Amino acid sequence: MTSSKKPRTMAVMSPSGLFDQLFSLEAQAKWHATAEHARYVFEDFESPTARRILAETEVLITGWGCPPLTHETLGMAPHLKAVIHAGGVISDKMPPLPRGRDIKASNAGEVNGMPVAEYTVAMILLANKQAFSAARLYQEQRRFIDREQEFPTAGNYRKVIGLIGASRIGRMTAKLLQPFEFEVWLYDPYLAPEEASELGVKLVSLIELMAASDVVSIHVPVTPETTGMIGAAELAAMRAGATLINTARGEILDQDALETELISGRIHAILDVAVPDVLPAEHVLYELPNVVLTPHIAGSMGTELQRMGDHVVAELERYAAGLPFTHPEHLATAQAGEHLEPIA
């Protein structure tokens, strides 16, 4: 953007109250100093007011709960030049852009991934320390606990940590683990050896990783290829007493096989996700002493949401200054032969 005029912006997310959780008063002040902002936060594009403001919008700020930006929606936004998303990706909410339409995009996937990596590292350290088992034992017995007798294998020195997937969060986790005296193994068939070296990890097969690791942490997206990739054979390969951490998606695991292993007590699990995401109240995993369940808290929450808001405002400031986004996202364009109506 080369004009000195402030770009007009519009915020769309659901619920609308998410806006004040994302954007501190300081961030909102920076936004108003950088761009014109409608007084409203919209949850969709359906109302006459939303459509009127969309028609004048140059930069669309989207967040969780924003509905898909269809061809019809984009057609109602002839001045739209950029979308800044306070979330993982925005491209899966947008159709291929027709020829002649240039819309830049940015997302907050990097900053939203930071709390997940931090949560993972915290859980790795606590799992190796056998902190959850120690806390339960102390609560049950309420007496002196001889830690060396009760937990002779506890500790974080020279343990093997297995990471499944060199995704954005997987890479962040690997980097956060570098200061510790761990041996970090990683399974990802698409990661080049030189990239593994930069991350300080040892590339191995999935079964090798499952068999050698004291803690296994999952960091792959849900795809047809990854759904159910951790099944009975992989779980059976885990050493007795090892811990499985899942902050990705429950569908990555064969949950029936996981439940069988956990009921046996042979391994431990720290699960921030499951299938379904909220387990029924009577589900066995709530009761097992070797399972820690958290209610999908690994991602941004509370004050961490403001990190995403600060990121969005920083990207908006870069746009207004004519600079490229720090975290651009590629938007697909129509392929030759696709007959899409041009967007005005």
- What are the catalytic residues? 249, 282, 296
Q: Would you give the DSSP letter of residue 299?
A: S
Cβ 170 vs Cβ 188: under 8 Å: yes
Q: Which two tokens stand for residue 114?
A: 């930071």
- In degrees and rounded to multiples of 5, residue 17 shows phi and psi of -65, -15
What residues are paired with 241 via a beta bridge? none
Whole-angstrom distance, CA of residue 228 vs CA of residue 210: 15
Q: Which two tokens stand for residue 3?
A: 């004009």
Whole-angstrom distance, CA of residue 71 vs CA of residue 62: 17
3-state helix, strand, coil in the chain (%, to 5): 35, 15, 45
- Strands ordered across the beta sheet of 82-86: 36-42, 8-12, 59-63, 82-86, 104-107
Rounded to an integer, what is the distance from CA 146 to the centroid of its chain? 39
CB-CB neighbours of 294 under 10 Å:
13
Whole-angstrom distance, CA of residue 225 vs CA of residue 170: 17
- Strands ordered across the beta sheet of 291-293: 202-203, 183-187, 160-164, 215-218, 243-246, 268-271, 291-293
